[in-house]
Amino acid sequence: MDTLEAIASRRSIRKFKPDPVPRELVERLLEATVQAPSGKNRQPWWFVVVEGEKRREMVRILREGIAKRKEEGADPGSSEWTANVMEQAPVTIFIFNEAAEESSAPDEGGNVVDVQSIGGAIQTMLLAAEDLGLGTLWICDVFYAYRELQAWLGRKDQMIAAVSVGYADEDPGPRPRKPWSEVTTWIGE
Ligand SMILES: Cc1cc2nc3c(=O)[nH]c(=O)nc-3n(C[C@H](O)[C@H](O)[C@H](O)COP(=O)(O)O)c2cc1C
């Protein structure tokens, strides 16, 4: 698969088959991910892979966080649906910014360059997964249980996102995009 093909065919997957993903494939995915560029080549990322039955605990913590936020009056948005997707997916990879020590909130700490580097690494992961025949979902709804998941995952640094990975059990069409010509200005001749 060439790169443009992977870019065109990738979709957010919200229905996964129960089939486990072999450890070797997850390792190949991570090997591709760490090839991403990073500011000053700082490689600020840290990955925590949750697989197998452990994901039930992860999802329980997320659901408890969502319930707590709802009690506080927050709108749960799509988070309950996302928790169901994470329960289905055999693997979820959390991505932390280890250059942002002791950060306890998604919008605290974290140099913008390091956060960009990690965004690039996540996109690299998604495209590599596409090439390896794996479906993915990039997830920020984990922020509904930010501190709780951070503690459960044994991290003190900044949680950036999670990516659920597995074999897709759906084949969604392309989601709408603003045409590039509507979001681009040209300066020049
Ligand atoms: C930073 C970021 C956070 C996202 N968080 C979630 C999420 O928590 N739950 C979810 O279902 N999708 C999430 N998505 C997926 C987007 O909804 C999806 O990329 C967008 O709707 C376009 O669809 P596509 O990826 O199939 O092209 C996230 C995507 C990004 C880039």
Confidence check: pLDDT of 58 > 80: yes
pLDDT band at 107 (very low <50, low <70, confident <90, very high): low
Query: If phi over 0 gives left and psi between -120 and 50 gives alpha, with beta otherwise, what is residue 41?
Result: left
**Mean pLDDT across the chain:** 95
User: Can you give the pLDDT at residue 144?
Assistant: 97
Longest Cα pair distance anywhere in the chain, in angstroms? 59
| Separation in Å, CA 94 to CA 9, 51, 59, 91, 140 | 23, 11, 13, 10, 10
Lowest-confidence range among 7-11, 26-30, 73-77, 97-101?
Answer: 97-101
Contact, 88 vs 15, CB < 8 A? Answer: yes
Distant-in-sequence, close-in-space partners of 63: CB < 8 Å, separation ≥ 6: 80, 83
Distance from residue 29's CA to the centre of ligand 1 (Å): 19
Confidence check: pLDDT of 106 > 70: no
Which residue is closest in CA terms to ligand 1's atom 15? Answer: 138
Q: Give pLDDT tens digits for 13-22.
A: 999 999 999 9
Angle at 120 between CA 119 and CA 122, to 5 degrees: 65
User: Can you give the pLDDT at residue 108?
Assistant: 59
pTM of the model: 0.96
Which residue is closest in CA terms to ligand 1's atom 1? Answer: 140
Average pLDDT over residues 51-62: 97
Distance from residue 139's CA to the centre of ligand 1 (Å): 6
Query: If phi over 0 gives left and psi between -120 and 50 gives alpha, with beta otherwise, what is residue 179?
Result: beta
Distance CA 106, CA 183 (A): 27
Contact, 135 vs 167, CB < 8 A? Answer: yes
CA dihedral 79, 122, 5, 166 (to 10 degrees): -60
Closest CA to 138 of 151, 125, 147, 153: 125
Which residue is closest in CA terms to ligand 1's atom 25? Answer: 12
- Choose one of 10, 12, 123, 124 to mutate for the ligand 1 pocket test, by most ligand atoms within 8 angstroms of C-beta: 12
Average pLDDT over residues 157-183: 98
Give ligand 1 pocket residues (Cβ under 6 A).
11-12, 14, 78, 82, 137-141, 161, 175
